[in-house]
Amino acid sequence: MSDLASQKRMAAAILKCGINRVWFDPERQADIEGAISRNDLRELVAEGVIKAHPVKGNSRGRARARMAQRSYGHRKGPGRRKGAAGARGSSKRAWIRKIRAQRRTLREMRAEGTIERSLYRVMYRRASGGQFRSVAHLTAHVETMAGRMK
């Protein structure tokens, strides 16, 4: 087998890729060996005798699987954590998410007629004061208050 190193180097320059990505057609080895100028090699590239292998990328499959696991709470234990709780998730953003959900629930209850305006106002103020942990806690509290008011 002949040494085609110089042809491979020139072909890599023509194809604008690395030497390892250059492919020579094994059937036309003699023609490639005879091609000593860049012009000869350009003609062989045009014929399809010399090609560049496609670029290999890194598979995202494992990363997608890992993200899917994290979405339902796995791989998030104390050994995985680097930042403080405040750095990993802002307490302000958590508060905003919680209070908006509570206020939305209160508005829905008022619209449905589950609670009257006076109770809505009382509960709105209490929610703003941070009395309720969650929407479930708020609704449980509303039920007891509605029972008391009747």
Per-position pLDDT tens, the chain of length 150: 578 999 999 999 999 999 999 999 999 999 999 999 999 999 999 999 999 999 999 999 999 999 999 999 999 999 999 999 999 999 999 999 999 999 999 999 999 999 999 999 999 999 999 999 999 999 999 999 887 776
- Neighbour tally for 143: CB within 10 Å: 12
Pick the CATH number of 5-52 from 1.10.3720.10, 2.60.120.330, 1.20.1290.10, 1.10.1650.10: 1.10.1650.10
pLDDT for 80 equals 94
**What does the longest C-alpha to C-alpha distance in the chain come to?**
101
Q: What is the pLDDT of residue 133?
A: 97
pLDDT for 7: 94
Structural domain boundaries in the chain: 5-52, 90-149
Residue 146, pLDDT score? 81
The pLDDT of residue 150: 61
Q: Which CATH class is domain 90-149?
A: mainly alpha
- In DSSP notation, the chain reads ----HHHHHHHHHHHTS-GGGEEE-GGGHHHHHH--SHHHHHHHHHHTSEEEPPPPPPP-HHHHHHHHHHHTTTT-SGGG--S-HHHHS-HHHHHHHHHHHHHHHHHHHHHHTSS-HHHHHHHHHHHHTT--SSHHHHHHHHHHHHHHH-
Q: How far apart are the first and last CA of the chain?
A: 99
